[in-house]
C-alpha cells in the first residue's frame, strides 16, 4: 500500500513535470507563431489612400514601416513620395503648394519635388519612393 502510494506520488510528479516542461516549450512557440499585435515593420508596398484623398496640390504624411513618408500630388497632378524626415535635424517636412517644393519649418530647408536639397541647411536629399496608381488606389513602393 505504501509502495503504491509512493509510485502514484512519483507518477503524479512526473506527469506534472512533463506538463510543465511542455508548457514551457509550447508557450514561446505559440507566441512566435501567432501574428504580432503591431503591423509589419518594413513592408515594400503601402496604400497611401485613394485618388479622392489627393486632389491637385494635396499632400499626406503616413508611416511606411518605421519611416514617415510624404506623398504629394503636385500642382501639375504628378505624384511624388519621399521620406518626410529632414536630413538636417530630423524635423518633419511639409509640401508648400504655393512654391511647389518641400519645406522644413525648423531651419527653412528646401527640397525640390525629386527630393534634392536646393536651399538652406539640409546636407542630403530626401529618399524617394515610387508611386503607382492602380485604379483608384495610390500605392507607394519602396524603390530598390
Partner 1 sequence: MRRVAMTVLLSMLTAGPAAAVQNQCAVCHATLGEKHQAILKAFDNDIHRERGLSCDSCHGGNPALDDAAAAMSPDAGFVGAPSKADMPKFCGKCHSNPAYMKKFNPSLPVDQELTYYTSVHGQRLKAGDAAVAACADCHIAHSIRPAKDPTSSVYVKNIPQTCGKCHSNVQLMAPYKIPTDQLAQYTSSVHGKALFEKGDTAAPVCTTCHGNHGAVPPGVENIGQVCGMCHVHNAEFFQSSPMAKPWAKRKFHMCATCHHEHDIQHPTAQLLSPDNGICMKCHSPSSPQIAVASAMQKKLESIEDAYQRAQKDILAAEEKGMDMAEARDLWDASRMAMYQSKTAIHHFSAASVAEVADPGIQNAEKADQAAKDAAADFQNRRIGLGVASLFITFLVVVIYLKIKDFESSQG
17 vs 77 by CB, closer to partner 1: 17
Residues of this chain, 72-131, that bind partner 1 according to CB under 8 A:
88, 90-92, 105-108, 120-123
Q: Are 118 and 108 a contacting pair, CB within 8 Å?
A: no
Q: Which of these ranges, 18-26, 45-53, 69-77, 94-102, lies near partner 1 under the rule CB under 8 A?
A: 18-26
Degrees to nearest 5, angle at CA 99 with 65 and 133: 40
In the numeric block, the cell 508611416 is attached to 63
Per rule CB under 8 A, count of chain residues that contact partner 1 = 34
Q: Going by C-beta distance under 8 Å and a sequence separation of 6 or more, which residues neighbour residue 93?
A: 70, 84, 85, 86, 102, 103, 104, 109, 111, 126
Enumerate binding residues for partner 1 (CB under 8 A).
3, 6-7, 10-11, 13-14, 16-18, 20-21, 23-25, 27-28, 38, 41, 63, 66, 68, 88, 90-92, 105-108, 120-123
Amino acid at each position: 500500500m505504501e509502495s503504491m502510494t509512493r509510485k502514484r506520488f512519483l507518477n503524479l510528479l512526473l506527469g506534472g513535470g512533463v506538463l510543465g516542461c511542455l508548457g514551457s516549450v509550447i508557450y514561446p512557440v505559440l507566441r512566435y507563431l501567432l501574428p504580432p499585435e503591431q503591423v509589419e515593420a518594413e513592408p515594400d508596398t503601402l496604400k497611401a489612400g485613394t485618388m479622392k484623398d489627393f486632389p491637385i496640390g494635396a499632400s499626406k504624411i503616413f508611416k511606411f514601416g518605421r519611416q514617415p513618408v510624404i506623398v504629394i500630388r503636385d500642382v501639375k497632378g504628378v505624384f511624388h513620395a519621399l521620406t518626410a524626415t529632414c536630413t538636417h535635424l530630423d524635423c518633419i517636412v511639409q509640401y508648400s503648394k504655393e512654391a511647389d517644393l518641400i519645406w522644413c519649418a525648423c531651419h527653412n530647408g528646401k527640397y525640390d519635388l525629386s527630393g534634392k536639397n536646393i536651399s538652406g541647411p539640409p546636407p542630403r536629399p530626401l529618399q524617394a519612393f515610387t508611386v503607382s496608381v492602380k485604379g483608384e488606389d495610390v500605392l507607394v513602393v519602396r524603390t530598390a
